[in-house]
Structure 1
C-alpha cells in the first residue's frame, strides 16, 4: 500500500491563493480530479490533503472533499488555536459529513511574523485542545525554527506533531549543518514524526538530482527511523521543480531503496496510517 501524506488542492475561482502571485506554475486551480488519476497510476491508495491558507471555510471544504472522494483519507486543516471556542469549533468540524477524516491542523509558522508565536499561552492551550480531540499538529517551519519547535514539543508530550517537508533543509544552499542539528534535537521526542516531502523544491529547481536529496533522506531515516517517517508528494508545489507526480514517487522509491522491504512499507504507508489514524478504503 502507498499513502501520500501531503498534497494540496485549490480553486482560484472560490478562493485566492496570494502566495502563488509570483509563481506562474502554480497560479491556476488544482482540483482533486486532476490528481486522482496520477494517484491511481502510481499505486497510491489514500491521501492526506493539507490546507493552504488560514481560512476555516477552506478547512470545511477539504472535509467535504474527503466525504466525496474515497481516496482522501485524511484532512489537515487550519483552526485558530487562540480562539476561546476552539473546542466547540473542532467538535462541529468532526460532526460534518466527512468530519471523521479530519486528522490534524497546522499553521504557516515559517511566515508567522511573531517569532515567539509557539510560546504564547493561548497557542499552547490550543495545541493541547487539538491533542484532546485526537488531532495532530503539522509543523511547517524553516530550519532556524526547529529549536523553538523542540521547546513546544517538549512541553506537550500528549500531542502528536508531524514535521512537514523534513523541516525544509536548505538543499540548494548545500550547508545542512544547522538543519541537521535541529533535526537531531527534534528526533529525541517520540511524539514527533516527519514527512519526506518537498525535497525537490528545497533543491535547485532547474538542476536538482536525486543525489542532492540523499543526505537529507539518510539523516531523516537515521534519526527518526522508518516508523516515524512518511511519504508526501507536496503536489502541486513539486511542479515548481519540474517534477510531476510520477517523478516524485520515483524519487522517493530511489531514496528509500536501501531499506528492507518491511521498512519501505512502513514509510510508504504504515507511518502515515498510524500517526494520522487513517482508514484506507
Structure 2
C-alpha cells in the first residue's frame, strides 16, 4: 500500500441522528452533513490514499453504518467503532460486528472518556473487563482523554499489556497554556510499549481564529520525543478541524511540524505507523 494515511476522521448525517457533542453556536460552522464523498477530493489533493473512520457518538447503530461505508469505499481502510464497555456482553457485541460480511473493516473501539464525570472511569472493573474483551477480539482501543484522565489511562494501560492503545489528539492539551502537567502525563503513557499517539486535533485546541504552526510545535516536540515517530500517526480530525483550519492547512501544518524528521520517520508518521497499529490492508 502506498500513499499517506489519515488515521483519524469522521463523517455524520444529521438527518440520521444528532451529534450530541455539537453544543453551542460556536459549532455552527460544522453543523451540516459530511460524507466520504466530501472528503475524497481533499484527501486526494493531500496524497492520502487510506483513512481510519472514527466513531462520533456513543450509539451502537453507528458502527455498522461505518462498516458499510468502509466496505463500499476504497478510501476508508478501517473503522474505529463504539460499544458499551460497561455492558456484560462486550465480547458478544464485538463478535457480532466482526462476523458481519464487512466486519473485517473493524480495527478498533473508542469511547468519549473525556466526557465521563469520573476522571477514573477507565479504572472501573466493568470498563476494564470490556477493554480486555477488545484485546481478546484482536482490536485496538483509542484513548480519548484530556490531562485529568492521564493517570487513570496510565494505570489502565499497565493493567492491560495485551491491548494496544492509541492516544487521540495527543490527549488534548490546551495549546498556549502550560505544558505541565500534560507533558509528564503523556510521557508516562509513552513509556508503555503498547501505546501509540495520534498527531491530530491540534488546531482546535489552539485559538480557532489566529493559531500558528509555531504555537503547536512545543506539544508536537514532546510527542515525537516521547513516542518516537514509529509510534506516532497523522490524523486530520476532519471535519471537526474545519472550525479552525481547512484539510489542506491541517496537512501542511503537520508537514511543517515534522519537517525535522528524516524521510523514513516522516513516512512512519504519515502512514507506516497507522498501517501497522491498525493492521490496515
> Which TM-score bucket, shorter chain as reference?
over 0.9
Which of the residues 214, 232, 235 maps onto 1:232?
235
Secondary structure class of the residue paired with 1:230? strand
User: Once the 2 structures are TM-superposed, how far is the Cα of residue 197 of structure 1 from its aligned partner?
Assistant: 0.2
C-alpha distance in 1 between matches for 2:225 and 2:119: 29
C-alpha distance in 2 between matches for 1:187 and 1:257: 22
Q: Which residue of 1 aligns with 2:21?
A: 19
Secondary structure class of the residue paired with 2:50? strand
Q: Which residue of 1 aligns with 2:67?
A: 63
Which range moves more in the overlay, 190-199 or 13-22?
13-22
C-alpha distance in 1 between matches for 2:180 and 2:117: 25
Q: Which residue of 2 aligns with 1:117?
A: 121
C-alpha distance in 2 between matches for 1:51 and 1:24: 20
Equivalent positions of 1:128-139 (< 5 A) are 128-139=132-143
C-alpha distance in 2 between matches for 1:192 and 1:276: 12
Could you report, residue by residue, the CA deviation over 1:210-245 in whole angstroms, capped at 9, with x for unpaired residues?
00011111110001001100000000111111x111
Q: Which residue of 2 aligns with 1:4?
A: 6
Q: Which residue of 2 aligns with 1:100?
A: 104
Secondary structure class of the residue paired with 2:84? coil
User: Once the 2 structures are TM-superposed, how far is the Cα of residue 116 of structure 1 from its aligned partner?
Assistant: 2.7
Equivalent positions of 1:167-246 (< 5 A) are 167-172=171-176, 174-241=177-244, 243-246=245-248
Q: Which residue of 2 aligns with 1:33?
A: 37
Query: 1:21, 1:27 within 8 Å by CA — same for their partners in 2?
Result: no
Query: 1:131, 1:159 within 8 Å by CA — same for their partners in 2?
Result: yes
Query: 1:118, 1:152 within 8 Å by CA — same for their partners in 2?
Result: yes
TM-score, with normalisation over the residues of structure 1?
Answer: 0.97
Runs of 4 or more above 6 Å deviation: none
Equivalent positions of 1:147-158 (< 5 A) are 147-158=151-162
Q: Which residue of 1 aligns with 2:265?
A: 263
Matched residues, number: 277
TM-score, with normalisation over the residues of structure 2?
Answer: 0.97
- Structure 2 residue runs of 5 or longer lacking an equivalent are none
User: Once the 2 structures are TM-superposed, how far is the Cα of residue 62 of structure 1 from its aligned partner?
Assistant: 0.5
